[in-house]
Amino acid sequence: MNTPAPESASDSRPASPPAAAATPLIGADPLALRDDVSGKEVLIRPYRAGDRPAVRELCADTGFLSNPIDPVFQDRELFADYLTAYYTDCEPESSFVCEMDGVVKGYIMGCRHPARQRRYEAWHNALLAVRGAWRYLFVYNKASRKFVRWIIARAPKEVPPAPRDIPHFHINLRPEARNVHTTRYLFDALLTYMRSCGETAIFAQVVGYEKRRGVRMFQRYGFEVLNQSEVTKFRDYTDQSIYLITIRKDLTANETLYGLDLKKAKHDGEAGGGDADMHSAKPLQGNEKAGTAGTSHLLAQLGAAMLSAASA
């Protein structure tokens, strides 16, 4: 796949660091953890080219509200191309994966160069449209054709506006990897990396099922909610209202997920009798087992909310 044109002289964003200097959080070696429930070894490490097939499969397997996209859209190849190709092919240094017993079970992919991504998508999405048009006419089933019509007719109206000129991220985890350790350290790997590159903020568009509760949850982790809008593409598959929420985090105030914002949330929860159940976790050292206090309810909610955003 072709690489997009180099950044113009007017693009003053700091240059991407070499892949070898992936993140100051985990350094040159992967961050080793152990899952409290399964006992499996977990590694948080920079993305490698050999991870591409696993990342694409994982994207399709979690594309429908954290479930396989197949009932909604049958073209897994095109779906993965649309959602992951830029990150894996053009900016792989900004991505991290979670391994469990040597198998990739999650990823977080970032984009530091929004203008570059827009240029890439201008021609890449045109190619996908040509492929999809033929398949729409002769291959796709009824559900897939309806999904395509939603993208063309409804998505421009329902998807809320997003910041154009700051970095963003996209995260997915398989069910067995959705816990406090993997979610926390995947986020911290990317956020710390972004800050080390000179970035001051990051955003994402994520799925929420409860409008007001979702806002409070994101705010507890230092994310500002910029806007939200109800999306209808999954209305045939769930009775719940689904919202697409744009969130932004100020990295100058806190460059990790599980930091000052979370401590404040815990204090506020205790003072108000709330349910802010926060627990610490630590990397393995030798055969030492990482924190056994249990999974943070709020962190699990945050991770789950972000998993479905990819296809929104």
Give the per-residue pLDDT at 263: 54
- The pLDDT, as a whole number, for residue 181 is 73
Give the per-residue pLDDT at 191: 94
More confident residue, 219 or 43: 43
Residues listed for the chain: 312
Q: What is the pLDDT of residues 250-275, one digit of tens each?
A: 999 988 876 555 555 555 554 443 33
48 vs 310: which has the higher pLDDT: 48
**What residues are paired with 120 via a beta bridge?**
none
CATH number of 30-311: 3.40.630.30
Strand, helix or coil at 149?
Answer: helix
Q: How confident is the model over 57-111, as pLDDT tens digits?
A: 999 999 998 899 999 999 999 999 999 999 999 999 999 999 998 999 999 999 9
The pLDDT value recorded for residue 178 is: 87
Give me the pLDDT at residue 265, please: 52
Which pLDDT tens digit goes with each residue over 134-146?
999 999 999 999 9
| Residue 227 token pair | 């806007």
User: What integer best gives the mean pLDDT of the chain?
Assistant: 78
Q: Percent of the chain at pLDDT above 90? A: 54
**Phi first, then psi: what are they for 202, rounded to 5°?**
-150, 150
Q: How far apart, in whole angstroms, are the C-alpha atoms of residue 246 and residue 225?
A: 6
Residue 157 confidence (pLDDT): 94
Give the per-residue pLDDT at 20: 35
Write the pLDDT tens digit of every residue in 49-61: 999 999 999 999 9
Q: Which residues are 64's β-sheet partners?
A: 67
The DSSP-derived string for 94-145 is GEEEEEETTEEEEEEEEES-HHHHHHHHHHHHHHHHHHHHHHHHHT--HHHH
pLDDT given for residue 289 in this prediction: 29
Domain positions in the chain: 30-311
Give the least confident one: 4-13, 85-94, 215-224.
Answer: 4-13
